């Protein structure tokens, strides 16, 4: 991080809302992209990013290392994504008949972004939550396994294993098309 960014974090920790807004503008696209790839729904991705920003803004005084702002934001985001995914599972478990299931699937389709029929995105969506999270952070956003480990609380070795297995799985799904 450059000195200006660190200075901006210091100002935000002191309560400067404009400084926080400047920091947010530097990371919001990446936060949204990570949320969208993992939640597969535009509205939920936006909600999760908004919740992340609110939590970060209200607790920025707790951030000790100015250079860790982006990783700190992603850590908050991943916790919110996991919470939303648990909510999906809970809601799915409450569906009692086929009509409810069909309505749920139709509602999900309405909120999705059209990726222009890209096969890889279709197959990417079939990966489990952990695989999507690890790949979106490593391949899509370019984080190292150590950085992902710090953000997610998963060991770096496990991150590397999950990423390697997910890549193999994705490659196999694409070859079978």
Torsion over CA: 66, 72, 74, 76 (sign):
negative
Band of the pLDDT at 92, cuts 50, 70, 90? low
Give CA–CA dist 51/177, Å, rounded.
38
Placement of tokens 């994705």 in the chain: 170
Torsion over CA: 146, 135, 158, 26 (sign):
positive
Give CA–CA dist 137/15, Å, rounded.
30
Q: Is the pTM of this model over 0.85?
A: no
User: pLDDT for 65-75, tens place per residue?
Assistant: 888 899 999 99
Give the HSE-up count for residue 91: Cα atoms under 13 Å, Cβ half-sphere.
13
Under 8 Å between Cβ of 9 and 23:
yes
Give CA–CA dist 10/166, Å, rounded.
39
Domains identified in the chain and CATH numbers: 1-113 (1.10.1740.10), 115-177 (1.10.10.10)
Judge whether residue 101 has pLDDT over 70.
no
Mean pLDDT calculated for residue range 93-97? 47
User: pLDDT for 125-161, tens place per residue?
Assistant: 888 888 888 988 888 778 888 988 888 888 999 999 9
């Amino acid at each position: 991080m450059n000195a200006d960014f660190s200075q901006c974090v210091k100002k935000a920790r002191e309560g400067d809302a404009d400084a926080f807004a400047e920091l947010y503008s530097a990371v919001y696209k990446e936060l949204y992209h990570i949320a969208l790839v993992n939640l597969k729904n535009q509205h939920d991705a936006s909600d999760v990013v908004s919740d992340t920003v609110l939590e970060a803004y209200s607790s920025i005084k707790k951030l000790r290392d100015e250079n860790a702002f982006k990783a700190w934001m992603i850590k908050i985001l991943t916790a919110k994504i996991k919470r939303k995914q648990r909510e999906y599972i809970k809601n799915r478990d409450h569906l009692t008949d086929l009509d409810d299931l069909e309505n749920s699937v139709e509602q999900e389709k309405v909120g999705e972004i059209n990726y222009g029929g890209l096969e890889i995105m279709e197959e990417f969506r079939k990966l489990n939550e952990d695989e999507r999270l690890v790949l979106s952070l490593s391949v899509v956003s370019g984080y190292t396994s150590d950085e992902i480990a710090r953000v997610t609380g998963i060991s770096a070795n496990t991150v590397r294993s999950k990423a390697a297995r997910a890549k193999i799985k994705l490659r196999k799904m694409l070859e079978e098309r």
